[in-house]
Chain A
Amino acid sequence: MSTLWARIEPLLARVQKPARYIGCEDGAITPDATKFGQAGVVEWLLAYPDTYEIGLPNQGLQILFEILNERDDAVAERTYAPWADMNHEMRAAGVPLFSVDAHREAADFDVLAFNLSSELVYTNVLNMIDLAGTPVRAAERGDDDPIVLVGGHAAFNPEPLADFIDAAVLGEGEEVVADITAAVRSWKLAGRTGRAEFLRELSKVPGVYVPSMYEVAYDGERITSVEPRFADVPATVDKRTVADLGEWPYPKSPIVPLTEVVHDRLSVEVFRGCTRGCRFCQAGMITRPVRERPAEQVRAMIREGLRSTGYDEVSLTSLSTADFSDIEPVVRGVLEDAKEIPGACDTMTINLPSLRVDAFTVGLAGEVNNGRRSGLTFAPEAGSWRLRKVINKLILEEDLYGAVESAFSQGWTRMKLYFLTGLPTETDEDTLGIVELAKNCVEIGKRYTPRASVTVSLGGFVPKPHTPFQWFGQNTEDELRRKINLVRDASKKAKGVNVKWHHPDASVAEGIATRGDRRVGRVIERVWREGGLFQEWGEHFDLRRWTSALEAEGLSMDWYVFRHREEDEILPWEHLTAGLHKDFLWGDWLDSLAESGVEDCRWTPCYDCGVCTGYGIEHVVASPIAPAGGSQGTGQDLERGGEVPVSLLPTRRESSVSAVGVSV
């Protein structure tokens, strides 16, 4: 129950960046110490399995931290993966995993909940469970051990972690944490015995998947069935979705780190979900439908957030921020409000990540940067119109050139273009099209500045569960390398074009963990036991750790990563759903191969992907009209007026605003 600080402090003189471990952040609410160790209070340790700098800005973790601490029956603290040096010092000194808030040991908590935003962190998850002094394998845990949970995007296929976690939570956490708290609290009050029976109860909470309650049968490499072990355990686990983002104006007290982190600015989420339908994008598939935050609430959260944090930069976050219906008035309002903060109007910057590729968006970006023109990023994702139809990223070349021209003419000199390579049906012509696009963009830029340059950033495509590309066989590392070299060689003579790429080996390791089944858990455990921590960090990554672990476990890289999967095959995540019908995904996969695009259902009639209809929820957008330029500015004929499940915000606006009013 007591603080470990006296034992942690001497270690901090021996490690890099010791501020990672001290907590003390500005604005962070302090967990109420009178709740520590109380039988009627569920104690959550919210864990991010990567460094503090990466994990601290994570909004999901900050939101749950606040929501849980506001409850009478819960208390939450945070922890992040100790870097290799600290891991070593802690193990040598016998110091267990600890929270950064009250510096209590992990064993003092009832729940150890990990936020999984990517797959390469899985070995860190195992390491943190082990550092917590808890058996790594769930089957070996006793009644006194914490309940190990995972959530976040990667948790939509938790099967590779099935042996190590007690439960996975699918979808958004705001509401389900209350249900989990209630279940754990009853268990605690009843004496905390019978872990297996408790987990069976937990498996009945909607959105919660308990792997140990399911039996997976195999025929050779193939899965033949996934069955619940008891009649009262649901056969399929559905994701949780918050119907109205306006009811959740969190974080109300953004955490301001004392040391440098990756996104060191205020973040305000303007909407959740995206129905652009990009087929490679897992986030767009699993977070449907679109739910906008009321514009007035966005403005109030920014105003209060800037005041309380002292930041002079705010990021309006979402999967495509220019699609927010009220983006223009919100931006104007924020700039207006900044005038009342001394000093802020001189330096205030509004950050619009995930820019849409059109001139309107660039114009918007020009207004909010206070004259700064540091760099602008667009994501055409593929080098030809043909391939962009395959992936449903419907950007015409003219759209890109229009956006780029608009940017150069407004004073930008550097542009960054994101592309994926290794996409379904991709030919060398498509790949080389990337260089042509980049060259043409530089040409346009030269009309405005001799310094015009374009950086092409190339990522190797990793097919994700719950997307139309979940059946696609990923390119091998050699094939990805060959394509990267094509682009690199073709751009050597192109002045002003620079190429950067993500390491193909890392994409392959990610592929193993992303679409793996339960048997892949043994590979992850082996990589971890042999010292493979921080696998998403280049200096710690080596693909040979993964290939040799696969080999040692008698598993095939081809089976998990490179082969195309079949329609009738049972996928490892078949019993988990984000609401998308399998028929819809398969149909979309066939449409993709036929180079046929699909419109954004936010503004056009519903094509029944299954989410809204299945869950009885709908889009919440302030305007049913597509933004200027149409769907990604393609000039597609977007017919309007069909039966679109859209509710307009203004009716709810008043109550949502007052919800923020209470907090300020």
Chain B
Amino acid sequence: MKLRARATKIGKVRFTSHRDAARMWERGLRRAGLPVAFTEGFTPRPKISFGLALPTGAESIAEYVDIELQHHVTADDVDLDTLPQRLCDALPNGFDVLAVVERDERVDSLQEAVTSCTWQLWSTQLTADDHREACRLLGSTEIVLERERKGKRSADDVRPMILDLRPDPTGDRLIADLVTIGRALRPAELAEVAYPNIDARDVRAIRTHQWLEDDGTRHEVIPLPADVDVSTLAVLT
């Protein structure tokens, strides 16, 4: 049986890395007593996989984890309704499991399926005017960003990576839809081009959605359950 969970990473734990989070899930699943399947070989690893890495320092209410349970386990053995709470209890504060669904054997891995993400960016050093100004980037035909990866510097046009930019209803945050296919534009890199007058390290970011595409329409991997009130999550207030 295969499961897919939607979880948060908010608060102080935003400073842990993607790999740290993976280890926490491994330990959390053991602590919760879930019969996870293991790989073969001398060093068996639990069959868990994670979607797109969340940059260290960024928060999220849309992280996904795929978990494969041992073959003999059926839906009757695992109560999906109570499982989110059971996992929450076994994970550190800030990792809230919002929903768990049974995953169709045929669906693609998270890494391959997700085409774009929605982010919110904000900083105490930024005003509504700054965010409105940032939205003007949409009018540019080319946005060249100098960046480095694996020691190599390159100048890339990142405009195609930006699907949409808009202020949130309060005006205090920028909402950005960014492409995840190919070499993605990270929120910190967007901050660099959107807010040239402040240190990009002072711009906070939270991932709010990961999107799949079917016949030109996008939908979330697992929609936020109706009973989850996002506004009660500390970081969003």
- Chain A positions near chain B (C-beta within 8 angstroms): 5, 10, 12-14, 18-19, 21-26, 256, 258-260, 264, 307-312, 341-344, 346-347, 371-373
In the complex, A372 Cα to B202 Cα: how many Å? Answer: 46
> A307 contacts which of B31, B34, B56 (Cβ < 8 Å)?
B31
- In the bound complex, do residue A258 and residue B24 qualify as a contact, i.e. CB atoms below 8 Å apart? yes
- In the bound complex, do residue A343 and residue B38 qualify as a contact, i.e. CB atoms below 8 Å apart? yes
Closest 4 CB pairs of A and B: A310-B27, A310-B31, A18-B15, A13-B201
In the complex, A13 Cα to B29 Cα: how many Å? Answer: 29
> A10 contacts which of B28, B35, B43, B202 (Cβ < 8 Å)?
B202
* Minimum Cβ distance to chain A for residue B174 (Å): 18
* Minimum Cβ distance to chain B for residue A622 (Å): 31
Per the CB 8 Å criterion, the residue count for chain B at the interface is 32
- In the bound complex, do residue A312 and residue B24 qualify as a contact, i.e. CB atoms below 8 Å apart? no
> B93 contacts which of A19, A24, A307, A373 (Cβ < 8 Å)?
A24
- In the bound complex, do residue B20 and residue A22 qualify as a contact, i.e. CB atoms below 8 Å apart? no
In the complex, A215 Cα to B93 Cα: how many Å? Answer: 52
* Minimum Cβ distance to chain B for residue A141 (Å): 32
- In the bound complex, do residue A259 and residue B20 qualify as a contact, i.e. CB atoms below 8 Å apart? yes
In the complex, A371 Cα to B202 Cα: how many Å? Answer: 49
Since A310-B27, A342-B33 are in contact, a sample of 20 more A-B pairs with Cβ atoms closer than 8 Å, ordered by chain A residue number, is A12-B15, A12-B57, A22-B16, A24-B13, A24-B93, A26-B24, A258-B13, A258-B16, A258-B20, A258-B24, A260-B19, A264-B23, A307-B31, A308-B31, A310-B31, A311-B27, A311-B30, A342-B30, A342-B34, A343-B38
In the complex, A251 Cα to B17 Cα: how many Å? Answer: 27
Known: A343-B30, A372-B42. A258 touches B201 (CB 8 A): no
In the complex, A310 Cα to B33 Cα: how many Å? Answer: 9
* Minimum Cβ distance to chain B for residue A51 (Å): 15
Known: A10-B202, A310-B27. A346 touches B15 (CB 8 A): no
* Minimum Cβ distance to chain A for residue B131 (Å): 20
> B36 contacts the other chain (Cβ, under 8 Å)?
yes
15 sampled A-B residue pairs with Cβ under 8 A: A14-B201, A18-B56, A18-B57, A19-B17, A19-B56, A21-B15, A258-B13, A310-B28, A310-B90, A342-B34, A342-B36, A343-B35, A346-B44, A347-B46, A372-B42
In the complex, chain A residues whose CB is within 8 Å of the CB of B27: 26, 256, 309-311
In the complex, chain B residues whose CB is within 8 Å of the CB of A346: 38, 44
> A13 contacts which of B16, B20, B44, B202 (Cβ < 8 Å)?
B202
In the complex, chain A residues whose CB is within 8 Å of the CB of B130: none
* Minimum Cβ distance to chain B for residue A267 (Å): 15
* Minimum Cβ distance to chain B for residue A21 (Å): 8
In the complex, A372 Cα to B92 Cα: how many Å? Answer: 30
* Minimum Cβ distance to chain B for residue A664 (Å): 15
- In the bound complex, do residue B57 and residue A13 qualify as a contact, i.e. CB atoms below 8 Å apart? yes
Which residue, of B15, B20, B92, B94, has the highest number of chain A Cβ atoms within 10 A? B15
In the complex, chain A residues whose CB is within 8 Å of the CB of B90: 310
In the complex, chain B residues whose CB is within 8 Å of the CB of A13: 57, 201-202
In the complex, A311 Cα to B28 Cα: how many Å? Answer: 9
- In the bound complex, do residue A26 and residue B92 qualify as a contact, i.e. CB atoms below 8 Å apart? yes
**Smallest CB-CB separation from A103: which chain B residue?**
B12
Tell me the B75-116 residues at the A interface (CB within 8 Å).
90, 92-94
In the complex, chain B residues whose CB is within 8 Å of the CB of A10: 202
- In the bound complex, do residue B33 and residue A19 qualify as a contact, i.e. CB atoms below 8 Å apart? no
- In the bound complex, do residue B13 and residue A347 qualify as a contact, i.e. CB atoms below 8 Å apart? no
In the complex, A449 Cα to B90 Cα: how many Å? Answer: 44
In the complex, A12 Cα to B202 Cα: how many Å? Answer: 10
In the complex, chain B residues whose CB is within 8 Å of the CB of A18: 15, 56-57
In the complex, chain B residues whose CB is within 8 Å of the CB of A310: 26-31, 90
Which residue, of A14, A344, A346, has the highest number of chain B Cβ atoms within 10 A? A346
In the complex, chain A residues whose CB is within 8 Å of the CB of B202: 10, 13
* Minimum Cβ distance to chain A for residue B7 (Å): 15
In the complex, chain B residues whose CB is within 8 Å of the CB of A26: 24, 27, 92
> A22 contacts which of B12, B19, B36, B43 (Cβ < 8 Å)?
B12
- In the bound complex, do residue A23 and residue B12 qualify as a contact, i.e. CB atoms below 8 Å apart? yes
**Smallest CB-CB separation from B32: which chain A residue?**
A310
In the complex, chain B residues whose CB is within 8 Å of the CB of A371: 42
**Smallest CB-CB separation from B19: which chain A residue?**
A260
- In the bound complex, do residue B15 and residue A19 qualify as a contact, i.e. CB atoms below 8 Å apart? yes
> A343 contacts which of B15, B46, B56, B92 (Cβ < 8 Å)?
B46
In the complex, chain B residues whose CB is within 8 Å of the CB of A23: 12
- In the bound complex, do residue B94 and residue A344 qualify as a contact, i.e. CB atoms below 8 Å apart? no
In the complex, chain A residues whose CB is within 8 Å of the CB of B34: 342-343
In the complex, chain B residues whose CB is within 8 Å of the CB of A307: 31
**Smallest CB-CB separation from B20: which chain A residue?**
A259
- In the bound complex, do residue B44 and residue A347 qualify as a contact, i.e. CB atoms below 8 Å apart? yes
- In the bound complex, do residue A22 and residue B13 qualify as a contact, i.e. CB atoms below 8 Å apart? yes
* Minimum Cβ distance to chain A for residue B200 (Å): 9
- In the bound complex, do residue B30 and residue A341 qualify as a contact, i.e. CB atoms below 8 Å apart? yes
- In the bound complex, do residue A260 and residue B33 qualify as a contact, i.e. CB atoms below 8 Å apart? no
In the complex, A89 Cα to B90 Cα: how many Å? Answer: 34
In the complex, A24 Cα to B20 Cα: how many Å? Answer: 13
In the complex, A14 Cα to B202 Cα: how many Å? Answer: 9
* Minimum Cβ distance to chain B for residue A391 (Å): 37
Which residue, of A10, A12, A258, A312, has the highest number of chain B Cβ atoms within 10 A? A258
**Smallest CB-CB separation from B91: which chain A residue?**
A26
In the complex, chain A residues whose CB is within 8 Å of the CB of B28: 310
In the complex, chain B residues whose CB is within 8 Å of the CB of A21: 15
* Minimum Cβ distance to chain B for residue A315 (Å): 16
- In the bound complex, do residue B31 and residue A309 qualify as a contact, i.e. CB atoms below 8 Å apart? yes
In the complex, A307 Cα to B27 Cα: how many Å? Answer: 10
- In the bound complex, do residue B46 and residue A260 qualify as a contact, i.e. CB atoms below 8 Å apart? no
- In the bound complex, do residue B20 and residue A19 qualify as a contact, i.e. CB atoms below 8 Å apart? yes
- In the bound complex, do residue A260 and residue B94 qualify as a contact, i.e. CB atoms below 8 Å apart? no
- In the bound complex, do residue A22 and residue B15 qualify as a contact, i.e. CB atoms below 8 Å apart? yes
Which residue, of B27, B201, B202, has the highest number of chain A Cβ atoms within 10 A? B27
* Minimum Cβ distance to chain B for residue A560 (Å): 42
- In the bound complex, do residue A19 and residue B16 qualify as a contact, i.e. CB atoms below 8 Å apart? yes
**Smallest CB-CB separation from A100: which chain B residue?**
B12
**Smallest CB-CB separation from B34: which chain A residue?**
A342
In the complex, A309 Cα to B26 Cα: how many Å? Answer: 11
In the complex, chain B residues whose CB is within 8 Å of the CB of A19: 15-17, 20, 56
In the complex, A373 Cα to B44 Cα: how many Å? Answer: 13
Which residue, of A259, A264, A343, has the highest number of chain B Cβ atoms within 10 A? A343
- In the bound complex, do residue A341 and residue B93 qualify as a contact, i.e. CB atoms below 8 Å apart? no
In the complex, A18 Cα to B93 Cα: how many Å? Answer: 17
**Smallest CB-CB separation from B56: which chain A residue?**
A18
